[in-house]
Chain A
Amino acid sequence: MPSMKSLPVIQDPATKALPGHRPLWQSVEEVARRRGEFAAGAAEAPPELSRRSFLQILGASAAFAGLTACQPPRDKIVPYVQEPKEDRPGKRLHYATALSFEGYATGLVVAAAEGRPVKVEGNPAHPASLGASSAFDQAALLDLYDPGRAKGLWRKGQALGFRTFLSEVQKLSAAHEADGGARLSFLLAPDASPLLAEFRRRLQLRFPRATFRFWAPIADDHAQEGARLAFGRKLDLHARLERARVILALDSDFLATPGDSLRLTREFASRRQPGEEMSRLYVAEPAMTLTGAVADHRFRVGPAEVSPFASAVAAELGLGKRSAPAGSPLARAAKAVAADLSRNRGRSLVLVGPRQPASVHALAHALNSALGNAGETVVYTKPVLGDAAPSSAAITDLARDVEAGRVDTLVVTAWNPVYAAPAATDLGALLARVPNAIYHSLREDETSKACSWRVAAAHPFESWGDARGRDGTVSIVQPLIAPLYESVSTVDFLAAFLDEGDKGGLRHLQETWRARTGLDPATFDREWQRWLRQGIVAGTAESPVAAALAVPPAELTALDPPARPEGLEIAFAPDYSVWDGRFANNAWLQELPDPVTKVTWDNAAYLSAETARRLGVSEGQVVTLAVKGGSLSAPVKVMPGHADDCVTLPLGYGRADGGAVSKGVGVNAYRLRTTPGAWRVAGAAVTPGKGKHRFAVPQGHFAMEGRPLALDFASHEWAHGEGGGELEHLRGTPPTAQVPVDYSKPDYKWGMAVDLSRCTGCSACLVACQEENNIPVVGAEQVAKGRIMQWIRIDRYYSGPAADPQTISQPVMCQHCETAPCEYVCPVNATVHSDEGLNEMVYNRCVGTRYCSNNCPYKVRRFNFLNYRPEVAPVETLLMNPDVTVRSRGVMEKCTYCVQRIERARIEARVAGKKIEGLQSACQQACPAEAIVFGNLNDSGSKVARLHDDARRYDLLHELGTRPRTAYLARIRNPNPDLA
């Protein structure tokens, strides 16, 4: 194990858990055991008798006389042997760290209770987070505590201790040194970490002839290539949406781009308020995406028609002559878009997605520079990943080398190549041939099976390291807890090949950075502490470079886009839940309804109704998709707004050895991805099959049936106040029989506001809520039965033509009605109102009649129909938020406005003799769009109070007289009058 003796003070919670330092480790374990049930705040040891069974016996003993003499055994209290300096029972400690995704870091602040991370939040100081966090970031916590994680270090099925492993690697390296590492090869995950870059430099010195390849299943090398075509060199593109008034996204789902999505969402949302400065978004894409769903105009085009459309726009702007046949709707669209773009020179932006060929990227660069956007709405920097950028070719090159027997030792840190590589290469068999295939991974997966060495990777929350955000900002990655299992951090793993595996991540890090900064020790230590506290190394962002086109725009527009393919085209897409498959074993994400289709625990062959009709297939029907070199049977799902004549297949499902959770979920789209990294494959044959598949979709109906639920208005109607008038009837105090309770007296009157103009439906709030409130996962079968437990539901409604609808998404959680219909029907007073107007749910009083749910017009209540936490592994209980009761079977639950946060803040404030300040609900804190605002309505200055008075404010189902405390702000669309 890496030594952590030299941890700075701030790291004590981690040292507490030092392995081999039994007592405190044990005390963590103790804490672990007690969290399975109703969990209390303090840090004492677990009740021997589980809380639930205790309650049941209690109940039973009352129910059937005779058991009266049952006395629960007494708990034990296990104090520390030595208190850590800054940790106190019940205190929350927050640590700044960072999490890398596709090589780019997002700065996080992780809260630890009793030395165990329990909540992930964004780091406001970090440019890629701005305080927000994504569903993936949130879910990292579940990965940390996943009992299915890889454990230990193995060679040919035989366990190696850490030391043995080091010495073995040492021998191995020594052997390779002889021929300069000619037969040594590295397949690495893309990573911008300066420390790892330093390691690579030194490895290359030691093994000059060794090969280093970087690979990830989803790479945007088209973008890099496009930049090279345009500027003659590879450059990163950074959009500045807060400056853009007109955005054209060509098959680009920029609101879900790794490393940048949070910032872009925040910037995009910031310009969706009605008014002069409101931005307008055009999207041309095959399948509906998060970005497409919030577009003001969405053009439904197949992946191959994007390029012609782009050139048409270019032509309209006087770049190149190729144009779509005039008069066609697309031509009209192109004309209008072009006009709009040119009206907003320097304030417009053209973005292209990774699925489009380099030529389209190049074209976009041309357009942006022609429109004078470069430096304004878009800036370029030199690539942050540098040489560590993933290349799709890597896998084939590697395969070739192995085939030729040129590799004796293969070191793999890239994620699961065997699963994600094209079936044709049969990488599994090849790796099995490599004498020493050393696979360093967080989980045992398809690749582990093929490799002779399996090295369990430490979770980022368990290890030292550094990372860079997409803009280049460096963050120090610090551990929050000692490794839960025997595992090795990436740093120590690679250091092992420099014979420095036992030096410890911290020392490597400090030495490297001391060297880089050249600071004297004293200053360095001060700086170091600051970096750890802030979570960023200030001033490390890449500075923009002036990017001039290396070739005249005309040439770029002349670049041939690939010819329109014959037959059906299949487009691959990263999945909103499991991305490329690396989150397949994460139950939170598996059960997270797809933001667009609402499907949980599944992927599907998505196509348009028209195409389905033509192919003679129906929803849920299993079809066989065959392309040259591969075939796959997948269930069909009709997606409103999908382009015709093409199929979209999300990647990352159908895992063979992905772990217990991912088993048998979805189909493996990589089987059709015959060339590595390919985004599209043409000429697919579809043969309808017999089987019928049932999707687990929590939302059953997508039409509003003419009811005023999720409201939106076109900007021009809004300007003329048409919408405003309508909303008058949907707010204010409706006449009801009851005399309203006066909530102006208490200090606080909690309320929430949800701005539909900002919400993109990204669903980060769902996972944040799940994490904060100990919400169980129920599995596909229960979801299909209508028993999903998430407290927040993001309703998606379609309007307009079914083939090409407008969409709107509306987060719905408990509305905390002042005259709550759920309350008066509860026979045991288990749900009542607090003096501050919260609709309280008292789990321990609930007997589960479900009457409250029946009478809730918003249907936001969730019921524990079964015991959704059958015996959990101790390590999983570490995950539980000790401030929130874990609900037992037969109990109703729902959004509480994070009352545990309110009460914690209240107590801390009152102990300090202050008022509550800066309180955020979990969903609000995670939301990158700042669409959810929670706060005190009695404080007229508060943001939520202002939003409650906003002109766009309305109440959901206002006419029922429930007086909800959650207000909605109608969404404003900004359509182009020319396209009306």
Chain B
Amino acid sequence: MSAPFKPHWNLLARLSIAVLGGGAGGALLALWGYWHTPYGQRLQEEVAQPVLFDHRHHVVDDLVDCRYCHFNVERGASAGIPSTQMCLNCHSQIWNKSPKLEPIRKSYFTGIPIEWVRVHQVPDFAYFNHSIHVKKGVGCVTCHGRVDEMPAVTKVASLQMAWCLDCHRNPAPQLRPPEEITSMTWAPPEDAAARTALAAELMKKYDVHSRVSCTTCHR
């Protein structure tokens, strides 16, 4: 009776090989998968802001157009975060006593700006410009989602390069008529033919071309 091993070693050996191989592969796969999960992309994270600002209320109830507060969206790279002054344009009249607006009044009188927390961020080496997108018929909702249904603004698109490329390669389906840019509810025609027709028309109208050269975004 001199075998160096006992019979159950056979099972043991095969198991351990399976575990080692599977483990390594699994780890890599998990690592890769992470960036494709909502967590990795930081989607649907409700971010606490210094002021309890509710887009639903302002957009739906008060019918304030996006461009009223995001004044720069048609002219500049960044859409523009409203200044304290802008809040008070209305709130000096209405709700001017509301405790919810205390931070606003504080900021105005001390002159210390409100520090909002960033939700949509592209890396600094990616040069995104709002004005050109808006001018070429890309609606707010396309990237920012139904802000009018968000108590607190959350990210709905990954903002990863591959995601950008989808549209940059084939802009047509994402375009909408100029008057619908800020609309939260506009949808392209149901009927496929009409949809493509409109897309083609808009492509012409806006003179949109697909731009996928690196320097379009990286400089």
**CB–CB under 8 A between A and B in the complex?**
yes
Contact of B214 among A27, A51, A82, A832 (CB under 8 A): A832
Inter-chain contact A88/B80, CB cutoff 8 Å: yes
Q: Determine the interface band of chain B, counting residues with CB < 8 A from chain A.
A: 35 or more
Contact B132 A907 (CB under 8 A): yes
Residue of B nearest to A833 (CB): B213
Bound Cα distance A883, B110 (Å): 32
For residue B78, which residues in chain A have a CB less than 8 angstroms away from its CB? 41-44, 89-90
Asked if A80 is an interface residue, CB under 8 A from chain B, the answer is yes
B213 in contact with A840 (CB, 8 Å): yes
Please encode chain A, from 892 to 915, with 1 for each CB lying within 8 Å of some chain B CB and 0 for all others. Answer: 000010011011000100110000
Query: Quick one: closest A residue to B208, CB to CB?
Result: A910
Chain A residues in 8 Å Cβ range of B85: 80-83
Interface residues of A in 37-68 (CB under 8 A from B): 37-45, 47, 51, 62, 65, 68
- Cβ A38 vs Cβ B124 within 8 A: yes
Main secondary structure of the interface of B (DSSP, over half): loop
**Do A842 and B77 touch across chains, with their CB atoms under 8 A apart?**
no
User: Do the beta carbons of B115 and A77 come within 8 Å of each other?
Assistant: yes
A interface: dominant SS: loop
Nearest residue (CB) in B for A747 is: B209
Interface residue? B163 (CB, 8 A): no
Q: A residues within 8 A CB of B214?
A: 832, 834, 840, 842, 845
Residue interface bits A841-852, CB-to-B below 8 A is 1, else 0: 011110000000
Task: Check A74 for interface membership: any CB of B closer than 8 A.
Answer: yes
- Shortest CB distance B32–A (Å): 9
Is A614's CB within 8 Å of the partner chain B? no
A516 within 8 A of B: no
Q: How many residues of A contact B (CB 8 A)?
A: 55
**B31 engages A23 (CB within 8 Å):** no
> In the docked arrangement, what's the CA distance between A77 and B81, Å?
8
8 Å CB interface, A525-573 against B: none
Determine if A726 is an interface residue (Cβ-Cβ < 8 Å). no
Contact of A911 among B40, B111, B114, B132 (CB under 8 A): B132
Complex formed: what's the CA distance from A902 to B216 in Å?
A: 10
Interface pair B77/A42, CB less than 8 Å apart: yes
| Interface assignment of B8: CB less than 8 Å from any CB of chain A | no
Q: Hey, which chain B residues are within 8 Å of A47, CB to CB?
A: 124
CB of B124 within 8 A of CB of A40, answer yes
Q: Are A22 and B111 in contact (CB under 8 A)?
A: yes
Indicate whether B116 reaches chain A with its CB closer than 8 angstroms.
Answer: yes
Q: Are A78 and B123 closer than 8 Å at their CB atoms?
A: no
User: Contact: A899 with B115, CB < 8 Å?
Assistant: no
B129 at the binding interface (Cβ < 8 Å):
yes
Minimum CB distance partner of A834 in chain B: B213
Residues of B within 8 A of A832 (CB): 214
Contact of B117 among A27, A74, A836, A842 (CB under 8 A): A74
Q: Is the CB of B124 within 8 A of A90?
A: no
Which A-chain residue is minimally distant from B85 (CB atoms)?
A: A82
Q: Which among A23, A39, A41, A91 is the interface contact of B129 at CB below 8 angstroms?
A: A41
- In the complex, what distance in Å separates the CA atom of A907 from the CA atom of B83? 25
The answer to whether B80 and A39 touch across the interface, beta carbons within 8 angstroms, is no
Q: Which of B50-108 contact A (CB under 8 A)?
A: 71-72, 74-78, 80-86, 107-108
Contact A903/B216 with A43-B78, A88-B80 known, Cβ cut-off 8 Å: yes
Task: Pick from A65, A79, A844, A883: contact of B31, CB below 8 A.
Answer: A65
State the Cβ distance, B188 to closest chain A Cβ, in Å. 23
Min distance, Cβ B130 to any Cβ of chain A, angstroms: 9
Interface 1/0 per residue, B123-157 and A, CB below 8 Å:
11111010110011000000000000000000000
A959 within 8 A of B: no
For chain A residues 248-293, which have a beta carbon within 8 Å of chain B? none
4 further A-B pairs in the complex, CB-CB below 8 A; given A38-B123, A89-B77, A899-B215? A41-B129, A74-B118, A843-B218, A845-B218
Interface residues of B (CB under 8 A from A): 27-28, 30-31, 34, 40, 42, 47, 71-72, 74-78, 80-86, 107-108, 110-119, 121-127, 129, 131-132, 135-136, 207, 211, 213-216, 218-219
Name 17 A/B residue pairs within 8 A (Cβ), A-sorted. Answer: A21-B111, A26-B112, A41-B129, A44-B118, A51-B124, A68-B34, A74-B117, A76-B116, A77-B115, A81-B84, A82-B84, A83-B86, A90-B76, A844-B126, A903-B219, A911-B74, A911-B131
Please provide the 8 A-B residue pairs with the shortest distance between their CB atoms, ordered closest to farther.
Answer: A42-B78, A834-B213, A90-B77, A38-B124, A41-B77, A75-B118, A79-B81, A40-B124
